[in-house]
Every structure is written in structure tokens, then in C-alpha cells.
Amino acid sequence: MIRSLRNIGRLGRAVLVLSQHDALFPREYLGQVSLGWRLARRLLVSGRNTAADEAPGVRLAMALERLGPAYIKLGQILATRPDIVGADVCQALKQLQDRVPPFAIETAVATVETGLGRSLDQMFRSFGPPVAAASIAQVHRAQTTDEPPRCVAVKVFRPGIEEEFARDLNAFAFAAKWAEALSQEARRLRLCALVATLSASVALELDLRMEAAAATELADQMAEEPDFRVPAVDWSRTATRVLTTEWIEGVSVGDKQALLDAGHDPKLIAVTVVRSFLVQALCGGFFHADMHQGNLFVDAEGRLVVVDFGIMGRLDAAMRRFMAETLAGFLARDYRRVARVHFEAGFVPSVHSIENFAQALRAIGEPIFGRTARDVSMAKLLQQLFETTRRFDMELQPQLVLLQKTMVVVEGVARSLDPDFDIWEASRPVIGEWMADQIGPRAILRDGRTTLEALLGLTRDLPAVLANLESVAGMLAGDGVKVHADSIERFARAQSFRIRHLQIALWLGAVALLILALGTIH
């Protein structure tokens, strides 16, 4: 009861702040709501609108910034859900600013010493004032006590941030639960799942060791890319609330004139931004999901350097294969093939018609063909996709939603560097390699070899299986063995399962051998 009252109180404050920014019942949408909602807006908003001249999405972003870090993170999640807030609001939420005044350097030093279990002078020769501050953490420039000393960036959590997040996330879960209980639309939008996604993201972000692990994993994955770089992690100076990485000397991708002054070509950097993201996501399956201008720099060698690994995305092999098939179908304008792939993956309920879904996909794909890349709006394209999602009862796939959201941000960064940037042409080499790896002859040969290896492993086990069967036959031929009826039934099911899979393996092995033989002949 007390927890519920606290949640209601926190939600009440949020309602008040949103109303003061005319972000809860925006005046632009009053014609679409009931009389009761209009009366509620009049009571809450009258005389209090602090951002009257701004667009609805901007007003919402301003309110979320004022409400604090949990609401900023909620806004970032909502920026991937145009089906909930609309495309225009999504665009505004992508610009959410997470900048707040820094906390005292003495507090940061205490956090570092407590987290690392050593005094500051044992670890750092110098420890400067904060150079950047956000609602979760701030960053200090420091020099290590190593010989020679190294220049590093030390990220330190804001005091009490874990408790603040916990309180707000409890309130979000409380609101989502009641919304789903009272509204069918809330259940369709899976608000509880949305809050769960936010909570999982925050849980990872509130342990800086996880961010360090993400940085090192991405560095390993992209080690062969000469134009991309990840700052090295100093694990000896990293803990749950402290992260130390090498200091990056570079020019922000957001400062085009500074890039030109440093001798860099913004057009080449735009291509590097897009291609490096595609290599991460499609080839490696692990990608930086927050590649906005504030997290991207160019070093003296012209390499793209990415920082801040709190938000990362993954695409498993099945999802990447699904994307390969979908992309191949769109490029061939074979919309029925794309529809079939969606049905086979279980993304569209079988109560719908493949033909109707293919028709909806055609409505999305056809307007793109024959137009210049500059005329194609990725935001509008995504809006159409989400409308199709709603029409055909598709559940959103978190992996793909995060990928799509990041792709929009990456495209925006590239076009800020080169207004005539052609994302399709820049993507072509990476996508071509990816397609060959996923669904081309190379993939067939790789899958065939995997099947052969499994088949060979099975044949190695056959002598032991036959020996066991011979022993059992000997016992049965003698005095017999008393076995419970349930055990006999389970044994029969298991043997049937093994035989069935052995038959499948033999057929797959034969097909793989045929493919390999044909490949050798050709």
C-alpha cells in the first residue's frame, strides 16, 4: 500500500511537469480525444504552459529532461516507437539532451577511491575537473601513475543514481500494469514489456564493468577495420561505478568546420560512419546503438572513434538471416518472398493472408524505387513499417527496432556531413559482402560443412550405441530384465527421436556432399 502511494505520488509529479509543458494533452491533438480528456487538460495546463511556442515533440523532450535520468531513458526508448508517439515526436525525442550541472570533484574522488579500493594518488598522477556531465555520470581527464604516464578519461557515477532509477522504474511498472489492465490498446502496445526493456537497459548501464566489456568486445569485433577505433579500457582502474579508458584526442563529428580545418574530408567520414555501423550490426551482430554526433570523433589519422558504450544492440544469427532474406526480397521487388519470410519467422500471425501482407509491403517498397537517395526519408519509411506492424498484429522485435532507430541516427549524422550523401550507394559494398555470407554460395558451403561435421560426430558415437544395444539384447535373451512400462515408453520415444534425427542428418549430409562436389567440379 505504501509503495503504491509512493508510486502514485511520483507519477503525479510527472503528470504535473508534463502538463506544464503541454506535453500530456497537447493542444494539437485535442480534436482526437474525448471531452473528459479535454477538461482534464484545461484543469492541468491552464496558465502553466512553459513552452507554448514549441512543437509537441520538443515540449515532451523538455519535460522529460526536467523529470530526470529515468525519464530521459524512457524518452530514448520511445524514440524507437513511432507506433506509440508518432513519427514527428520520435524525431524530437532523438534530440533529447542529457546535460546537467556537474557534481563536486570531491564527491567524484570519494567514489573513485571507494570503488577501486585505493587512494587517488596511488592510481592517478593528476585528476582534473569534470569535462562533461550527464544525469547518470560525469567524465574527468586524468593522468595515470604508470611510467610513462597515460592520459585517460575517468567516468564516475552520480551519487544516489541507482536509488533514483529504482524509484522511477517502480513507478513506470506500476503505471504500465494498470494501463494494460484497463486498456486493450495498452496491451497491444505491450507497455509492460516496454518498461521491462527500459529496466534491462538501465541495469546494464548502471554497472560500468558491463560498459567496459562492451567496449572491448566491439574492439575485438572491429579489429580488422582500419578506419574505426575503440578506446582501450584500463581494467585495473575500472569498477561498478568507475570506468577508465584511454583519452581520445580528436575532432567531434558534429563540428564540420573543425574537421575541414584539421584536414579531414567530411564526405569520406560520412561513408565511414555508415559502413562501420553496418559492419558492426550485419557482419558482427554486435553494434553501438547510440552513434550520435556527441559520441563520434575523428583522430589525427582520420579514423572514426566511438565512445560511450552504455547502449549496445545485438542481432543473433537467425535475425541476421531473416534480414538478409528480407533485404534480398526488397531489392528484387519480390514482395511475396518478403512476406513469406515474415510468416515463416512467426512475426505475422497465420490468421492473416500472405498476399495481403505482400501488398502492404509493396506499398512501402515501390515509392522508393526510381527516386534519388536524397528524396527518400528514412523516418517516413519507418513510420510506414510501424503502421504495417499495427495493421497485421505484428509484435515488435526489439533487436530490429533498436537497429532501425540507430540506422536513422547514423543516416542523420552522415547527411549532416554531406547533404548529398547516398546511404544506399555507401552501403552497397558491406551489404553485398553480407548477402554473400548469409544466403550466397559461401553460406551454403559453410552450412554443408557444419552438417557434415555433425554427421561425422554421430558416426563416431555409433559403435558405442551398438555395443550398448548388444548388451541390452543379451540381457533380454537371458533371464530378462524387468522394466517399468513408463520407462519402456520413454525409451521408445527417445529412440524414435534419435532415429528421426539420424535420418534427417543423413539426408542433409548427402545434400551437403552433393553441393561440395558440384562446387569442386565448377
Whole-number Å distance between alpha carbons of 364 and 520: 42
- Told to judge if 290 belongs to the known catalytic residues of this protein, a careful annotator would answer yes
Confidence of residue 452 (pLDDT cuts 50, 70, 90): low
Domains of the chain by residue range: 2-98, 99-167+179-247, 250-439, 441-521
Cell representation of residue 372: 534519388
Cell representation of residue 439: 544466403
Task: Tell me the whole-structure pTM to 2 decimals.
Answer: 0.71
Whole-number Å distance between alpha carbons of 421 and 409: 14
Could you tell me if 80 and 51 are in contact, meaning their C-beta atoms sit under 8 angstroms apart? no
What would the mean pLDDT of 437-445 be, rounded to a whole number? 64
Q: What is the pLDDT of residue 165?
A: 86
Residue type, 159: P
Each residue's pLDDT tens digit, 303-351: 999 999 988 888 888 888 887 777 777 767 888 988 998 888 888 888 8
Sheet of 124-133: strand order equals 124-133, 137-144, 151-157, 242-246
Least-confidence region, from 57-61, 158-162, 447-451: 447-451
Whole-number Å distance between alpha carbons of 35 and 221: 55
Cell representation of residue 243: 570506468
Q: Which residue did the predictor score with more confidence, 33 or 152?
A: 152
Helix extents (H) in 366-397: 378-391
| List 290, 299, 316, 334, catalytic entry | 290
Q: What is the pLDDT of residue 507?
A: 38
Q: With 0-12 CB in 10 A as exposed, 13-18 as middle and 19+ as buried, what is 11?
A: middle
Q: Return all residues near 361 (Cβ < 8 A) that are at least 6 apart.
A: 330, 335, 338, 339, 388
The H or E element containing residue 128 is: strand 124-133
Task: Establish whether the linkage from the previous residue to 148 is cis, with ω within 30° of 0.
Answer: yes
Q: What is the pLDDT of residue 112?
A: 97
Whole-number Å distance between alpha carbons of 153 and 142: 6
The H or E element containing residue 126 is: strand 124-133
Confidence of residue 260 (pLDDT cuts 50, 70, 90): very high
Q: Return all residues near 357 (Cβ < 8 A) that are at least 6 apart.
A: 339, 342, 343, 348, 388, 392
Q: With 0-12 CB in 10 A as exposed, 13-18 as middle and 19+ as buried, what is 481?
A: exposed
The full length of the chain comes to 522
What would the mean pLDDT of 404-411 be, rounded to a whole number? 81
